[in-house]
Amino acid sequence: MLDPGMTGQGGLRVKIVDVQTFVVGNPPPHFGGRFWVFLKLTTDGGVVGYGEVYAAPFRPHVVAAMIEDVCARKVLGEDPFKIERLWRRIYSSGYTQRPDLSLVAVLSGIEMACWDIVGKELDKPAYELLGGQVHERLRSYSYLYPEASDRGDVYLEPDLAAERAAEYVAMGFTAVKFDPLGQYSAFDPRQPSLEALERCERFVARVREAVGTAADLLFGTHGQLTPSGAIRLGRRLERYQPLWFEEPVPPENVDAMARVARQIAVPVATGERLATKYEFARVLEAGAASVLQMALGRVGGLLEAKKIAGMAEAHYAQIAPHMYCGPISAAADVQISACSPNFLIQESILTGGGFHSEIVKTPIQWQEGYLIPPSGPGLGVELDESVLGEYPYTDQALHLEMVEEPV
């Protein structure tokens, strides 16, 4: 076992000497995205760390090449303990030094893998190295997902959604999420129609009736609405006491989101499409949201997420990390949630089973509505590399795609 006190003294005692990438097709029903991009860093001592790059807006094999390029220029030969130094050098690569989602997503996966290595070298979970464990279990929520036997669309039909929500509560969930506005478009934001407003209110009313006070309701959108449209919808939802109204307007204009937050009595949540402390600082300064949903495979990694959680704490805001990803980024979410005092709730994809559990050696445990932070070192999960090659990604679509015509 490495003596951490020796790290970096008299030259690098630990060096990253290899990088490998994996593009994995997520088979139907594709919950968590169409594909996942993983990376593995290996040290000169044979210790490996895994990372995941979330939803960079390029085809996955292009993203894999980007990872290899960044690692060749900035990572190989470096000490994985020097995370702040690596972060600044990669973030500033090519005279960028701004929250570029593609570069920061690559940086996130690399940073994640470094924490995995550091935790293994010290035989500690990452959360113990980022302030120590605060939460022994993490309250979780899930989207309402379709099933093969469905005779309708659970995303749009209130009665089916209510039935599914009641099933999830019986499983142990104390919160469920849904987004009945329908398709999101490259031409959003838009003003919702009266029919859409009525459908959304009826949807929430039926789900609330089905679960009573046994579960919180999380109303999602994907930045589909104008501020005035979001306010009209938000005021309709107030009587049903949702825990949050997610990304009511696109994330690029925090003043517009703040206008919504000021005029409705529902907490606003945002963050899955934001990167770095700098973008989240603007959200907090504007009062645009009280729940921050950083995606660990995009935001800048674990330490950056911890900094954002600290800023949020100073503003009495809470974190609810976004998890529509593969199992490595999901594990990073769990690590940061476990050590953050202002943790609210953690997204999970159902109970974390299915393909998510098939490609890791020891899946994260889900028990009666809660995720249990792993006690193993680093991120606490290991990819089963013998399985990954069985699931190549051969499609051309990106992780998520927007409708390319106005809705």
Catalytic residue of the set 30, 135, 222, 399: 222
Residue type, 57: P
CA pseudo-torsion sign 82, 88, 89, 90: positive
Query: CB–CB of 41/52 below 8 Å?
Result: no
Task: Determine whether 61 is an active site residue.
Answer: no
- Region of 125 please: left (phi>0), alpha (psi -120 to 50) or beta: beta
Task: Determine whether 222 is an active site residue.
Answer: yes
Q: Can you tell me the distance from the alpha carbon of 202 to that of 158, in angstroms, rounded to the nearest whole number?
A: 7
Q: Nearest-CA neighbor of 22 among 377, 357, 327?
A: 327
Catalytic residue of the set 30, 61, 135, 322: 322
| Strand 318-319 with 365-367, pairing | unpaired
Report, as residue numbers or ranges, the catalytic residues: 222, 322
